Amino acid sequence: MTALMNLAQSPRLISIDDNIRNVGGHFYELATLLCGGAEALGYRPVLATHRSFHQPTLKPASWTIIPTFQTRRMVRWSLGVDGQSSGPRDFNGNPTSDRRMQNFRISFSDWLSPPAKRPTQMLRQWSNDFCELMEQLKPSSSDSLLINTGDDFVMLALVNAIHRLQLPPMRIDVIFHFALIEEQDDRRRERLKMIGRQLEKASNELKAHSLHFHATTDSLAAQLRETDSGLHIHSIPYPTRPRAIAVPSLESPIKAVLAGLPRAEKGREAICGLIDDIESTLLKPGRVRLSMQMPADKWQSMIPKSHHGRFQKALTDSSEGTSTSGPFEVMTSNLSTDDYHRWLDSADLGLFLYDADRYVARCSGVLLEMMARGVPVIVPDRSWLADQVRLAGGHRSIGFIYQHRSEIPELIRQFLKHRKTIQTRSIGHAKVIMSRHSGENTLRAMGLNQQIRQSAA
């Protein structure tokens, strides 16, 4: 009884991510890891998701999950590389460029979007939903607010909402994941300055609260500092789920996994070429089996036509739960969290076709999931992924770093030749990853362990 009373009196960590629409995917994974870390520190976790989220029955009874938001992907209107905005906006989402003609062009471009996806409407809807959430929760100063997936546009919406509320002074943490610019951007300085002014303007409106910004990579933290916003940016470890490390297999074929749904920044267009490059020397002789996750109805353009029959069979076998042999294993796009992790548990090698420019400042949760299992990896140079391999010993340590995707077939052959040695080093490094990248350690790096001590004092 005393424990239950203490739990009820504990401060809440209110996590917000409108991108969470179902069980599975990295937005949901991040949220559950942060909620687990929050509970370990003594918080009562509250998670606000997209309104379409179906609450799982297996969540801990001590967690509160509130499907709230009608918007998703607020980053759509960020000034960063993943956004469509080309100029600054006010707290209602309207353009505020110094040049009148530019404001007109931006407004016209906004109008071409579907009404529900126009920036003013998305910002208004997010703000309305946030206000409803706060009215329902009635937070106190001992509670903390965490924006799991932050960007400059979300900050405008947050200010809009808080202007309409009577909130007590609270701690507010915002996590940034997405790169602000591409490394070769000709307008680098101009774009960063514009983002910085927008972030500074938003943070000045929130001075009644204790505002903290965090980036999930050192490179992204450096980009945020380069905006000259004057904000203090902390680099934090992205959390990953701990896994039991199995004794690695030395049997053939090895299972080389392209984890996660194929997207442009994850090298979607390179899958065809990879299959062609390894077909005669690795797939056909049965030395390698390529395992990937694909949408059930949109895979044809990503697979060479000569393999469509075998690929379709593998996809059908997977959807029917039938074991299959052959060069491909195909997982459908609707994997549950448990199924997804069991799939990664079966990997012998992690292949990453990622666009290095997009991952210079962006972390990869899939890479950490592989490394936490002791699975060797092949990653692109000049990216955050390559930095992680170098931290573990560099090229040939726990995997390989390539300059161009054409090198991947030869690197797979090198892995086959030195498999046992590389696996042993990868398993040793997995313990480091699991300790550094736990949900609890992420929140400690953010300073939330100190916050709860102050609340309890």
Written as one string, the DSSP assignment of 230-273 is ---EEE-PPP----PPPPPP--SSEEEEE-S---GGGTGGGHHH
- Output the pLDDT for position 22: 84
| Confidence category of residue 5, pLDDT binned at 50, 70, 90 | very low
Mean of the per-residue pLDDT values of the chain: 90
- Output the pLDDT for position 306: 81
Residue from 117, 180, 145 nearest 48 by CA? 145
- Output the pLDDT for position 25: 78
Q: How confident is the model over 265-284, as a mean pLDDT? A: 91
| Confidence category of residue 221, pLDDT binned at 50, 70, 90 | very high
- Output the pLDDT for position 322: 67
pTM: 0.88
The residue to which tokens 């329902």 are assigned: 136
- Statement: residue 328 has pLDDT above 50: yes
| Confidence category of residue 323, pLDDT binned at 50, 70, 90 | low
- Statement: residue 340 has pLDDT above 90: no
Burial of 274 (0-12, 13-18, 19+ CB in 10 A): buried
- Output the pLDDT for position 1: 36
Identify whether the C-beta of residue 177 lies closer than 8 Å to the C-beta of residue 205: no
- Statement: residue 392 has pLDDT above 90: yes
Determine the residue type at 247: V
Identify whether the C-beta of residue 250 lies closer than 8 Å to the C-beta of residue 378: no
Continuous segment of H or E residues that includes residue 386: helix 384-391
164 phi and psi angles, rounded to 5 deg? -95, 0
If you ran DSSP here, which 8-state letter would residue 81 be given? T
| Confidence category of residue 102, pLDDT binned at 50, 70, 90 | confident
pLDDT tens-digit profile of 434-451?
989 999 999 999 999 887
Q: How confident is the model over 313-333, as a mean pLDDT? A: 75
- Output the pLDDT for position 289: 93
pLDDT tens-digit profile of 356-365?
988 989 999 9
- Coil, helix or strand for 285? coil
Q: How confident is the model over 185-207, as a mean pLDDT? A: 91
| Confidence category of residue 333, pLDDT binned at 50, 70, 90 | low
